[in-house]
Chain A
Amino acid sequence: GAGVSQTPSNKVTEKGKYVELRCDPISGHTALYWYRQSLGQGPEFLIYFQGTGAADDSGLPNDRFFAVRPEGSVSTLKIQRTERGDSAVYLCASSSSGRGPTGELFFGEGSRLTVL
């Protein structure tokens, strides 16, 4: 597709359940990022992939959060044993690695997660 696609756009779940959020980056972009945005806050970095490998996962808040990108394209953010504090908009972005650190990120519209 033309842009970064995220599914689902909205997810409501109960505390303790498992959730998967999917991101389909811009075709050809090898760098992929996950951010979390709470109401009234700036995006908070979670994890960054370069190809299939996680180059920096320092932003993952705890071991309930995990992300994969097995073929270097689509990525899935997985949250186990969800808590109410996990409620936020999860943003995915991709970037062309050909530009290295000077390249801007292109964001999807996000997946809004609500944990009841």
Chain B
Amino acid sequence: AQSVAQPEDQVNVAEGNPLTVKCTYSVSGNPYLFWYVQYPNRGLQFLLKYITGDNLVKGSYGFEAEFNKSQTSFHLKKPSALVSDSALYFCAVRSSSNTGKLIFGQGTTLQVKP
């Protein structure tokens, strides 16, 4: 069975500081990993994905994520946070052996303070 864990309900960071939002996963087969962001009263927006290859993937709005197979993690990072990055972030996983459903974590609220 596929599952995703986001161990932090909320992450607080000062503007200009680096940020990390954590994600670990469990899946049979090779994982396909995704990050989405959700602003209040809006749908989910795709940020980036890891399929294969380089463990560091870059995405929208300056975000990047690092895939670590041994730790089954896919943490979201940004070198310098902006107040406008404040939102709800979801990690999601799909197995290479299951071409269908994408399973989401519970979400982490990112709060960037000026």
Q: Interface on A for B, CB 8 Å cutoff?
A: 4, 33, 35, 40-45, 48, 50, 55-56, 58-59, 91, 93, 100-102, 104-110
Cβ contact within 8 Å between B43 and A91 = yes
Which of B14-22, B77-85, B101-109 has 4 or more CB atoms under 8 Å from chain A?
B101-109
Cβ contact within 8 Å between A43 and B104 = yes
The size class of the interface chain B forms with chain A is: 20 to 34
Cβ contact within 8 Å between A42 and B101 = no
Would you give the shortest CB distance from A40 to chain B, in whole angstroms?
Answer: 8
Cβ contact within 8 Å between B102 and A33 = yes
Q: Interface on B for A, CB 8 Å cutoff?
A: 4, 6, 32, 34, 36, 41-46, 49, 51, 90, 94-96, 98-107
The 4 closest A-B pairs by CB, nearest first: A42-B104, A107-B43, A109-B43, A107-B44
| Residue in A58, A101, A102 whose Cβ sees the most chain B Cβ within 10 Å | A101
In the complex, what residue of chain A is closest to B102 when comparing beta carbons?
A105
Would you give the shortest CB distance from A6 to chain B, in whole angstroms?
Answer: 8
A85 to B99, CA, bound (A): 30
Would you give the shortest CB distance from A1 to chain B, in whole angstroms?
Answer: 14
Cβ contact within 8 Å between B107 and A100 = no
Cβ 8 A contact of B107, one of A4, A42, A93:
A42
A56-B43 in contact given A41-B106, A43-B90, A101-B94 (Cβ < 8 Å): no
